[in-house]
Amino acid sequence: MTAANPNPYAAKPGDYLSNVSNFQLIDSTLREGEQFANSFFDTEKKIEIARALDDFGVDYIELTSPVASEQSKKDCEAICKLGLKAKILTHIRCHMDDARVAVETGVDGVDVVIGTSKFLRQYSHGKDMNYIAKSAVEVIEFVKSKGIEIRFSSEDSFRSDLVDLLNIYKTVDKIGVNRVGIADTVGCANPRQVYELVRTLKSVVSCDIECHFHNDTGCAIANAYTALEGGARLIDVSVLGIGERNGITPLGGLMARMIVAAPEYVKSKYKLHKIRDIENLVADAVEVNIPFNNPITGFCAFTHKAGIHAKAILANPSTYEILDPHDFGMKRYIHFANRLTGWNAIKARVDQLNLNLTDPQIKEVTAKIKKLGDVRALNIDDVDSIIKNFHTEVTTPQLQSARKNKQEDNDNDNDKDVPSLASVPAAKRAKPTV
Amino acid sequence: MTAANPNPYAAKPGDYLSNVSNFQLIDSTLREGEQFANSFFDTEKKIEIARALDDFGVDYIELTSPVASEQSKKDCEAICKLGLKAKILTHIRCHMDDARVAVETGVDGVDVVIGTSKFLRQYSHGKDMNYIAKSAVEVIEFVKSKGIEIRFSSEDSFRSDLVDLLNIYKTVDKIGVNRVGIADTVGCANPRQVYELVRTLKSVVSCDIECHFHNDTGCAIANAYTALEGGARLIDVSVLGIGERNGITPLGGLMARMIVAAPEYVKSKYKLHKIRDIENLVADAVEVNIPFNNPITGFCAFTHKAGIHAKAILANPSTYEILDPHDFGMKRYIHFANRLTGWNAIKARVDQLNLNLTDPQIKEVTAKIKKLGDVRALNIDDVDSIIKNFHTEVTTPQLQSARKNKQEDNDNDNDKDVPSLASVPAAKRAKPTV
């Protein structure tokens, strides 16, 4: 925020634990995403999605447990054989029955999870913390003995007892897990709470910290970002955030967040211009539309409408954009066909139409457009027709002399702000032609 | 997180500045929302939306500047005459021309904004901080002289110089504004940055602090929440978050966040069961679909799918829900027609069908359902057919003896966890009938 710090969104020197410029992605579209209401991925679709994620550059791909169903196991084995750059993980309950099947699938790592909140201990598996610790140690040592990565995660971490949590994490860290996981399974966590828990955990374990955030209360992206600030290293994402209920941290949304903080890291590591294709692939597969307000790929993510915004964007896009659409293979759009438009936006359109109008003329035609925009929704054809008619009027010799006085009046108008009908005295207003 | 604190999401005693349980909403659907690409609200629609927001209980309704267009002025006047409980605001540039028009519309308050970032100072209005301060003082004193509320906001606050910001806020606070506003106009801010700026500003001004967050990087809800923690009092929202680009903090999403932190305050103040109707009203008006993953009203916001989730939800919904769907007039749904299903979910369906099966029988039919779910997407009719066929088979006398041995085997199965095909030895598995 000061001149001494050229990028105010970068980690501050004080944030010495921050991994904002050194994070990894675990994509769980093929695990958490399978738990999305509409999901049914056949083998071919799973492979297509896995290849697309690998090409994008995710660090890990997490797959549904091989004990979930026969086909889940076969698909897991098939994806392990693809030879992707991304490491392949599968996600299992903290149970030897599951672990024995998982290690035979060919995965690079196993993600183990067990519920630690009083809710899950009472109503789900019914085990106490001693039992959980005992199972965890057995499963972890078994998986490690096979020479593959192991992550131990609590479930519903933010409603678990802090001392219980730290005890179990400390225990598994000593055995030598690759990662411990914090999971906001119900989507209740808020950013400062996340920061505190991650910082505290960071002081207890030496392994990496992975975080998994559900989006029930709309904080999944912010929580992921704040977890990285606190020292977490890995974030679970899925394409469009699909998962149980309304899902988890979305891959695209997190990229929007991270590129602001660590542009070089993000741009060099991930193929950002592939986000749109991957989102379309998954959206088609699960039969949903891309949300209208999706970060980056929502239809209006780079659309500027109010006259004052359009004016500044035309002068310098950074005025009203923190994301550069070109980084994502997208384009910005100046919405000029509406009553909030301004003469700078209309001037840009006049240029696109390759017409020649003076600034006062453009202000005059802008007033006409705003007048019609007050009556009904406009489309581009409406505006183009008004501009073209106006252009014909001012360039046809027999109509020119009648207009001359008006133009001279307009030239004296020294209002440098975006004009609006109300700020132009009534006498100067063009009569609407429609 | 400890037993001593019954609600771990409530403000902590240390957060003495927190307004998490004492916030107000400024709904800007009819101002920021008009800047959404698809918006065109005629007078009738604006009035319908204003009445719905008033009925819901928002504290303020913000309208487009009366100088934006002739009709904008008339609509502003019309809404002021409705006699709503909510206070009516309009939003203007920091300019006497705008202020003179605004105070004559009948509004309860005027929201003044001016760009303070170097980007906006250079490329938008081209004014320096002295000019900004001078204009601000003039406009504020004029609006105050009319006996109506006044808010002064910077624009693009997170890319403005901190000292410049604090100077101008201090100046306008001394004159006696009702509120100062922080605006993340480009959607670049992150929660900890928000917290710091709000806390700092809180130490400089005595008036209320209002915050406005764009959602370009997916943090608009979390930033709003964290701003309240830091001592902000008012949050700008719009229905579905509609606004410039991909919009601002959404009304519904913020309610999802706030009900977790301040359930009594939120439930007593706002008619939460109206959220769905208001969102549908606005979505229809601007011709968008409710995003599939929208908090609260997304089609799957309360859908539970994985067997282990379904099992626990059936025992106690709090296991996997931080939001109670009934608070919003919504219902939860257990998705059982898929390969990730478990026998507890199928048992619930068997009960709904009013059929009588033993637990081992339900485990057997669950295996059949998972088997078919491995081959293709299932719908409810598929599952019901399998259950009904199975029920006929086990209850028809001539078929019973052939099944007896199998059942006895299953009774010895002491796996208390959610069963899966893979965890049932192959010899015990029912042969698929389809």
Summarize pLDDT for A66-109 with one digit per residue, the tens.
999 999 999 999 999 999 999 999 999 999 999 999 999 999 99
Confidence of residue B406 (pLDDT cuts 50, 70, 90): low
Residue of B nearest to A116 (CA): B319
The model's confidence at residue A205, banded by pLDDT at 50, 70 and 90, is very high
Task: For residue range B7-22, list pLDDT tens digits in order.
Answer: 666 666 657 889 999 9
pLDDT higher than 70, residue B46: yes
Select which of A125, A273, A309, A326 is catalytic: A309
Q: Is B62 helix (H, G, I), strand (E, B) or coil?
A: strand
Q: Residues 384-413, chain B: which have Cβ within 8 Å of A?
A: none
pLDDT at B408: 52
Contact B93 A417 (CB under 8 A): yes
Containing A402, the helix (H) or strand (E) segment is helix A397-411
With beta carbons less than 8 A apart as the criterion, state whether A425 and B67 touch. Answer: no
C-alpha to C-alpha distances, B235 to B29, B35, B240, B261, nearest whole angstrom:
13, 18, 15, 15
Q: pLDDT tier at A35 (50, 70, 90 boundaries)? A: very high
User: Is the backbone of residue A287 left (phi > 0), alpha (psi -120 to 50) or beta?
Assistant: left
Q: Could you tell me which residues come within 8 angstroms of residue A6 by beta carbon, excluding any fewer than 6 positions away?
A: none
One DSSP character per residue, A129-140 reads HHHHHHHHHHHH
CB A299 within 8 A of CB A292: yes
pLDDT value of position B405: 58
- Looking at the complex, does the CB of residue B31 fall below 8 Å from at least one CB of chain A? no
Nearest to B37 among A34, A335, A422 (CB): A335
The region of weakest confidence among A376-385, A408-417, B204-213, B390-399 is: A408-417
Q: Which of A3-12, A141-150, A225-234, B72-81 comes out lowest in average pLDDT?
A: A3-12
Rounded distance between C-alpha atoms, residue A259 and residue A254, angstroms: 9
Cβ–Cβ contact A17 with B under 8 A: no
* Beta bridge partner(s), residue A208: A179
Angle, in degrees to the nearest 10, between helices A191-202 and B191-202 = 110
* Dihedrals phi, psi of B48, to nearest 5 degrees: -60, -45
Average pLDDT over residues B15-40: 94
Q: Across the interface, do B301 and A222 touch by the CB < 8 Å criterion?
A: no
Mutation target to probe the B interface, by most B beta carbons within 10 A, among A124, A193, A201, A323 is A124
Residue A229: CB partners within 8 Å, gap ≥ 6? A11, A15, A18, A20, A195, B190, B192
Q: Please, what is the angle between helix A359-375 and helix A397-411, to 10°?
A: 90
Residues of B in contact with A367 (CB under 8 A): none
Which residue in this structure is represented by tokens 């009083």?
A118
Q: At what angle do helices A162-175 and A191-202 cross, to 10 degrees?
A: 40
Q: Which of A149, A226, A144 is nearest to A182 (CA)?
A: A226
User: Phi and psi (nearest 5°) for A339?
Assistant: -75, -15
ipTM: 0.87
Question: Each residue of B241-278: b (16+ CB within 10 Å) or e?
Answer: bbbbbbbbbbbbbbbbbbbbbbbeebeebbebebbbeb
Non-local CB neighbours of B122 within 8 Å, separated by 6+ positions: A316
> Phi and psi (nearest 5°) for B259?
-65, -25
Nearest to A216 among B218, B323, B374 (CB): B323
Instruction: State the DSSP code for B36.
Output: S
Contact B325, B332 (CB under 8 A): yes
Task: Tell me how far apart the alpha carbons of residues A101 and A86 are, in angstroms, rounded to a whole number.
Answer: 21
pLDDT of residue A424: 31
Residue A428 has pLDDT above 50, yes or no: no
Residues 6+ away with beta carbon under 8 Å from B424 = B363, B367, B413, B415
Across A124-133, B107-116, B168-177, B190-199, least confident range: A124-133
Q: Please give the single-letter amino acid code of residue B121.
A: R
pLDDT of residue B234: 98
How would residue B115 be classed by pLDDT, with cut points 50, 70 and 90? confident
In order, the DSSP letters of B248-261 are B-BHHHHHHHHHHH
| Closest among A153, A155, A158 to A179, alpha carbons compared | A153
**Contact residues, chain B, for A340 at CB < 8 Å:** 34-35, 64, 68-69
| Minimal Cβ distance to A124: which of B257, B312, B375 | B312
Question: Maximum distance among all alpha carbons in chain B?
Answer: 95
CA distance B105 to B80: 7
Do residues B297 and B330 make contact, with C-beta atoms less than 8 angstroms apart?
Answer: yes
Contacts of B206 (CB under 8 A, 6+ apart): B173
Q: Which of B23-32, B45-54, B125-134 has the lowest mean pLDDT?
A: B125-134
Show residues of chain B in contact with A65, CB under 8 Å: 420
Q: Say whether pLDDT at B411 is over 50.
A: no
Closest CA to A53 of A89, A77, A21: A89
pLDDT band at A27 (very low <50, low <70, confident <90, very high): very high
A119, A191, A261 member nearest B222 (Cβ): A191
pLDDT higher than threshold 60 for residue A328 = yes
**Nearest-angstrom CA–CA distance, B306 and A37:** 9
For the segment B222-263, what is each residue's pLDDT rounded down to a tens digit? 999 999 999 999 999 999 999 999 999 999 999 999 999 999
Write out chain B residues lying below 8 Å of A319, CB-based: 117, 119-120, 123-124, 156
What length is written for chain B?
434
pLDDT band at B282 (very low <50, low <70, confident <90, very high): very high
Residue A416 has pLDDT above 80, yes or no: no
Q: What CA–CA distance (Å, rounded) separates A334 from B396?
A: 70
CB < 8 Å to A254, chain B: 218
Interface test with A, best of B221, B322, B376, B415 (most A CBs within 10 A): B322
Residue A25 has pLDDT above 80, yes or no: yes
pLDDT at A124: 73
Of all helices (H) and strands (E), which one includes residue B297?
Answer: none
| Window 300-359 of B, Cβ < 8 Å to A | 300-306, 308-309, 311-312, 315-316, 318-323, 335, 338-340
Asked if B185 and B217 count as a contact pair (C-beta separation under 8 A), the reply is no
The phi and psi torsions of B301 (rounded to 5 degrees) equal -60, -25
Residues of A in contact with B120 (CB under 8 A): 312, 319
A214 is catalytic: no
Nearest in space to A28 (alpha carbons), one of A282, A199, A256? A282
The Cα–Cα gap between B53 and B57 comes to 6
What distance, in Å, lies between the first and last C-alpha atoms of chain B?
50
Tokens of B108: 């309860």
Q: What was the pLDDT predicted at B4?
A: 47
What pLDDT is recorded for position A405?
58
Q: How far is CA B56 from CA B60, B240, B252, in A?
A: 11, 14, 11
* Of B419 and B124, the one with more pLDDT: B124
**Looking at residue A10, what is its pLDDT?**
63
pLDDT of residue A252: 98
Cα–Cα distance, A297 to A211 (Å, whole number): 25
